[in-house]
Structure 1
């Protein structure tokens, strides 16, 4: 049996474009002699659409496209993902019931009723239960076992009946659920398992998937097809990368064939032909991880910019590592001809960083200019500092405005972002981006409307140490990012206390605070957890930090606790900045934005934390 797996670029919200592509692939498969062609989950509408799923006209339009696809299936079986509607029933929100479903057509007609997704993910970026009704909920409504609603689909190929066990994405990842759809389908004599997925890239996800597949078919060996899409899907706060990696597995769980990452590609196999060689699963290594990270970011930037009328991007280039990495990624994604870098020095910017910015621009061959800001900053300070408010209630009370050193630092950042970058981008018909990393974003070490602005935050899901690592990867063949940038301390250069030539820099201990922030964000650890691990001597192991670094930075419990409480406060009170941040390309296990749903609640220390703190600080 010849099967094609069409790894297409699904454009979220554009069923017209997606269906045109689906029909084209069906025609190519028929000409190639394929008997079955499989497409990804939600291949017609896209998946991460937010509350666009509540747009009745849109979802009805998406469902209607099934007729176009069905009509194209002469001489071939097509399996694709789309929305299914039941206008005779309502979901809990009172709207027409919607299903995340797979459709099967052959010779111009539907072979079966829609195959409805059983397991509904509601973690990270997923919110299926907000929009879709699951087959296991149908079973509960009917007071029947879920098994009754999970059945193979029968098709006839070469005059033989084939039982297709069709599942949708999460149905394969059933470890934490009470239902195992694959097990149910195999118990009902499915001849093959076909998984339609819309699965974003995450760190080492594909290695985990290979292991899961092998486990699922271990006791009942059959071929398994995994069809995933490529492209990006943007929910307004996060840009999720879809790497594809569609795979056909042998019955023993080894890989028969696999599609390339981030590439529209159709792979073809004859699953009854034992001559197919086994493809080795990709090896895991730090080098492979950073290659995937680099490729994903470049791909995400390129796809994000594709719908814009212009590919031009304006970016601040300070001579520091964050802007150096951002401009390097943008250049790789969009081409040097589309990158307009602006160095915006104040009196605190050293000649060292100015030279580094110029050298990097020359190495990349991008557009470059320098626009000093000191005159404008001085004028703004002069206007604000000493301004007087008069109370207009008859008391004639007066209040003088006095700018602190921090206020003056923020004025510099806002002048760069809101005035120059925004103005230049507008003049060029471009967009502008920011250079904030994840550690700074977490701790609020960024100025609203200064650093926190623009159309995109390309590296805001990278911790500072990852920024350096990716910068070194960019220099793997030749020096693109000047070595000076790696040698000087990380610094915003907003005051004399951040003079890089004197070895001064940011007030963040990145080798440790990166790990602490990761513990807060990705491991979801509370200060109570952190302090408990510190007390019992396992903190370094838990947060994956060198113990020598913790010992170097914190000589005693008092220093450690003071830092912990300070960083927790910063993390919790700066949510308002993150809410206003532009979309972030998600590459970690938990990205700020829709991936991590934060509430502006202020900070809190649990009673157990306070008790443990008292014990640690009690005089000996």
Structure 2
């Protein structure tokens, strides 16, 4: 009977649909595992194809291609340690989220995910069939339970494996980030360890896929819930852990490095940087541009872009009108200089005059107002998109979650673009994130150290500068009040009565609720952005566009 079991954990970043590239990553992990005399190398859930696949999994040709690559991997990794890798399985007309164990050139075992998540960003019940409750696999005489991601959040799946003789639980995951997610994960895994008196390995992927960023943070728990090893957040990493059979016949993981996790401000900022970096890299874009207004939102988006891609790949464009203040001109130029990125100035006065003249016969006798303000924003959007087309640079939008929530943005204007790094970050958090970035620099940032965002930008009253002396709080409640209401209304799904009971003015709450509902059509057409909370706009929160219901409680 073997008394040692060496495991290699491959916390890696797949690209969805790049089957050959993902297979190459798996082969590299296999080679490193072989060099370390590992018995088993494990890769995350759905790794062969990337995750989340969504309705791409409903194409039989795609699934069959994935399965063919798993078979190729089995042959290529025939010598050396066994391999565990996730992928879709089409079997007798049923489609499964599966996990394959490869050894000696063959697939020796296949697990089918039993618990299919159907909340927040997950919609697996409409795509996959439910696998059976299953026991462990036998790997060279060691019985290994392989609950797939959500399976380990439900006690009966792991209990069935334990009762069937599992000696170690290994959980392959595709678990995306939201603020505070890690504590929920580890609490659930500790519960499984305590319930079944078994060590547990939690392996998560890293990297961005559309709005979701997988944050890694893989770990190993010994019996009793004791942490034996913890891998980094967000970074690719291959680590090895050795299990030893104890006197009572159980298994104990060797103590390894336990990498401490950073605070939520750094995690959120890293998600915004990583999300943009992977969105660009995986779609094939190399460069970005954005409108730099001299305000705090575009300032932090420019900083995120430089940290993600490098200053040489970021173009900032100031598009001033007669309402643009000198301080905004100065602040925009200063941050572009601080970041070291390309900076252009493209005045819009002549273009606006031409549009106004063209429309004058139609608008004769009507007062100027929001229409004329939006013409400025839409002209800026047109010019930025023209530059995007001409230079082959993806346009970034800069609206924060507060603005996205209440529609304080111009559709086909400042909402134009391919990606929005701030989409799930409320305005008050934008200010704090600017302060955090000014005070901190990390190796994963490609931008310069120091206070790159001028304090004047952070401290001045927010304004769209579309009319004389305009301020955001002319049209909206102060952001500290607006954000507090939105967090309760959107993130916590509280009723109007509950929010009023918490001390907010009912008229203000009702107005905010109305703005949220009537802005749904804008969000439906808005650019994707990184998910930071469990109620991000897009897949977390799916509301009808046409909706006359209001909460009159």
TM normalised by structure 2 equals: 0.92
Aligned: 1:13 with 2:10: no
Deviation at 1:599, TM superposition (A): 0.8
Partner of 2:517: 572
Partner of 2:445: none
Question: Residues 330-381 of structure 1: CA distance to partner in whole angstroms, max 9, x if unpaired?
Answer: 0111111111111111111111111111111111111112111122112212
Deviation at 1:240, TM superposition (A): 0.6
Aligned: 1:66 with 2:70: yes
Give 1:229-308 correspondences, 5 Å limit: 229-234=205-210, 239-272=211-244, 276-277=254-255, 282=260, 288-308=263-283
Partner of 2:478: 509
Partner of 2:323: 348
- Cα gap change, 1:241/1:606 in structure 2, threshold over 3 Å: closer, same or farther? closer
Aligned: 1:605 with 2:550: yes
Partner of 1:226: 202
Runs (4 or more) in structure 1 with deviation over 6 Å come to: none
Partner of 1:480: 452
Aligned: 1:194 with 2:139: no
For the 8 Å contact 1:527–1:605, the answer to whether it is kept is no
Partner of 2:122: 126
Give 1:76-475 correspondences, 5 Å limit: 76-87=81-92, 96-112=93-109, 114-136=110-132, 149-156=133-140, 161-174=141-154, 180-234=156-210, 239-272=211-244, 276-277=254-255, 282=260, 288-387=263-362, 402=366, 404-418=368-382, 420-475=383-438
How many angstroms apart in 1 are the aligned matches of 2:367 and 2:42?
63
How many angstroms apart in 2 are the aligned matches of 1:26 and 1:301?
29
Deviation at 1:180, TM superposition (A): 2.0
Deviation at 1:15, TM superposition (A): 1.6
- Cα gap change, 1:499/1:199 in structure 2, threshold over 3 Å: closer, same or farther? closer
How many angstroms apart in 2 are the aligned matches of 1:302 and 1:48?
18
SS, match of residue 79 in structure 1: strand
SS, match of residue 491 in structure 1: coil
How many angstroms apart in 1 are the aligned matches of 2:84 and 2:342?
48
Question: Residues 2-31 of structure 1: CA distance to partner in whole angstroms, max 9, x if unpaired?
Answer: 100111211112222111221232233123
- Cα gap change, 1:586/1:347 in structure 2, threshold over 3 Å: closer, same or farther? same
Partner of 1:23: 27
SS, match of residue 462 in structure 1: coil
SS, match of residue 271 in structure 1: strand
Deviation at 1:506, TM superposition (A): 5.6
Question: Residues 454-502 of structure 1: CA distance to partner in whole angstroms, max 9, x if unpaired?
Answer: 01111111000010000001111532111111221011111114169xx
Deviation at 1:528, TM superposition (A): 4.0
The answer to which of 336-345 and 211-220 deviates more is 211-220
For the 8 Å contact 2:415–2:527, the answer to whether it is kept is yes
Deviation at 1:278, TM superposition (A): 6.3
TM normalised by structure 1 equals: 0.82
How many angstroms apart in 2 are the aligned matches of 1:401 and 1:271?
82
The answer to which of 370-379 and 438-447 deviates more is 370-379
How many angstroms apart in 1 are the aligned matches of 2:79 and 2:257?
33
- Cα gap change, 1:328/1:606 in structure 2, threshold over 3 Å: closer, same or farther? closer
> Any unmatched runs of 5+ in structure 2?
246-251, 441-449
For the 8 Å contact 1:228–1:244, the answer to whether it is kept is yes
- Cα gap change, 1:81/1:310 in structure 2, threshold over 3 Å: closer, same or farther? closer
Deviation at 1:517, TM superposition (A): 1.2
Q: How many residues align?
A: 533
Partner of 1:145: none
Question: Residues 533-552 of structure 1: CA distance to partner in whole angstroms, max 9, x if unpaired?
Answer: x2xxxx15xxxxxxxxx5xx
Question: Residues 168-225 of structure 1: CA distance to partner in whole angstroms, max 9, x if unpaired?
Answer: 0001112xxxx62112211222100010101111212222222222211114322211
Q: If you compute each CA radius of gyration, which structure gives the higher value, 1 or 2?
A: 1
Deviation at 1:507, TM superposition (A): 2.9
How many angstroms apart in 1 are the aligned matches of 2:264 and 2:398?
22
The answer to which of 63-72 and 345-354 deviates more is 63-72
Partner of 1:518: 487
How many angstroms apart in 2 are the aligned matches of 1:172 and 1:566?
43
SS, match of residue 48 in structure 1: coil
SS, match of residue 6 in structure 1: strand
How many angstroms apart in 1 are the aligned matches of 2:219 and 2:177?
15
The answer to which of 301-310 and 162-171 deviates more is 301-310
How many angstroms apart in 2 are the aligned matches of 1:424 and 1:47?
33
How many angstroms apart in 2 are the aligned matches of 1:219 and 1:119?
18
Aligned: 1:47 with 2:51: yes
For the 8 Å contact 1:169–1:199, the answer to whether it is kept is yes
